[in-house]
Amino acid sequence: MKILVPVKRVASLDDEFELRDDGRDVDPDFCEFDLNEFDEYALEAAVQIKEAAPEGSVEVVVLTIGPDDADDVLRKALAKGADRAIRVDDAGLEEADRVAIARVIAKVAENEEPGLVLCGAQSADQGNAQTGMSVAALLGWTRAAVVSKLDFAPGAATAQVERELEGGLVECLDVETPAVLTIQLGINTPRYASLRSIKQANAKPIECLTPHDVGLSDAEIGAAGALSRVRRVFVPERGRGEIIAGTPSQQAARLLEIISEVNG
């Protein structure tokens, strides 16, 4: 059985950043990129299922849709226990929203026929919380979101999962498989990659495909497959509090004053 783990390369912004000329995104020159934190947990959950199963019976496949720079996050995932990595190039996907990205992931899932797809609950940068559950909808598979515990033996007809809801309330449920689950932070403790596994990961091939290669038609790719369009990105005019300047000692002294002013 395969477990497919779609992973995203997410951006965090530098202290000072600029928008792209068309005003519809941040200029990527001002971004730092890393593997989405939620995906570290999804990957670990997949690797733990593999390790609990008879050797060689489960293959963990990681997938990202992005430019060749995104190979970094695949290598990181390979170093942390994924067996195979696929990257679908984002050429032609400029106008893709989360649903259009999900169309690519769903096609790869159709081709790979995994027993489970584990996505992150959301991306740390944009927080859409759409992609994973869109993949499930497109495949017509069972779905559950924000999973904080997962028990699944490969081949079983159901998985036992817990969903973490508002206020920390937990729902325990049985979910039919194959299923697409989105994984919440804290479900496990993601492992560190050893130097040896990093070296091995760097030597592994990454399968590079285009959206057409995986079987998408033009009517599904990019804007054609999207349900939304970014019109404009802007830095809002927002109130900012009073910035307390000075040395750490002066700042702490002022903070103690504020504490006694407020607490009376």
Ligand X SMILES: Nc1ncnc2c1ncn2[C@@H]1O[C@H](COP(=O)(O)O)[C@@H](O)[C@H]1O
Ligand Y SMILES: Cc1cc2nc3c(=O)[nH]c(=O)nc-3n(C[C@H](O)[C@H](O)[C@H](O)COP(=O)(O)OP(=O)(O)OC[C@H]3O[C@@H](n4cnc5c(N)ncnc54)[C@H](O)[C@@H]3O)c2cc1C
Letter string b/e over residues 133-150, b meaning 16 or more CB atoms within 10 A of that residue's CB: bbbbebbebebbbbbbbb
Q: Which is nearer to ligand Y, 121 or 138 (CB)?
A: 121
Under rule CB under 8 A, residue 113 binds another protein: no
Q: How far is CA 244 from CA 16, 61, 249, 257, in A?
A: 20, 49, 11, 12
Closest residue to ligand X, based on beta-carbon distance: 120
Under rule CB under 8 A, residue 219 binds another protein: no
Under rule CB under 6 A, residue 7 binds ligand Y: no
Residues of span 38-97 touching ligand X by CB under 6 A = 38-39, 63-66
Q: Which is nearer to ligand X, 81 or 132 (CB)?
A: 132
Q: Among positive and negative, which fits the CA dihedral 208, 221, 24, 63?
A: negative
Work out how close the CB of 71 gets to another protein at its nearest, in angstroms, rounded to a whole number. 22
Residues of span 144-163 touching ligand Y by CB under 6 A = 146
DSSP bridge partners of 209:
88
Q: How far is CA 69 from CA 34, 36, 57, 66, in A?
A: 11, 15, 31, 8
Determine contact, residues 63/87, Cβ cutoff 8 Å: yes
Under rule CB under 8 A, residue 143 binds another protein: yes
Q: Which is nearer to ligand Y, 45 or 121 (CB)?
A: 121
Under rule CB under 6 A, residue 122 binds ligand Y: yes
What x-and-dash track marks residues 225-264 binding ligand X by CB under 6 A? ----------------------------------------
Q: Which is nearer to ligand Y, 63 or 121 (CB)?
A: 121
User: Which amino acid type is present at position 180?
Assistant: V
Work out how close the CB of 132 gets to ligand Y at its nearest, in angstroms, rounded to a whole number. 12
d(Cα 101, Cα 99) in Å, to the nearest integer? 5
253 binds, among ligand X, another protein, ligand Y, none (CB under 5 to 8 A by kind): another protein
What x-and-dash track marks residues 50-89 binding ligand Y by CB under 6 A? ----------------------------------------
Gap between the terminal Cα atoms of the chain: 64
Residues of span 146-205 touching another protein by CB under 8 A = 146, 160, 162-176, 182, 185-186
Q: How far is CA 55 from CA 1, 70, 78, 79, 150, in A?
A: 12, 29, 17, 18, 20
Under rule CB under 6 A, residue 121 binds ligand Y: yes
Work out how close the CB of 148 gets to ligand Y at its nearest, in angstroms, rounded to a whole number. 9
Of the candidates 31, 41, 58, the residue with the CA atom closest to the CA atom of residue 132? 41
Q: Which residues are CB-neighbours of 13 under 8 A, at least 6 positions away? A: 26, 30, 31, 32
Closest residue to ligand Y, based on beta-carbon distance: 121
* Chain positions contacting ligand X, by CB under 6 A: 6-8, 36, 38-39, 63-66, 98, 101, 105, 119-120, 122-123, 126-132
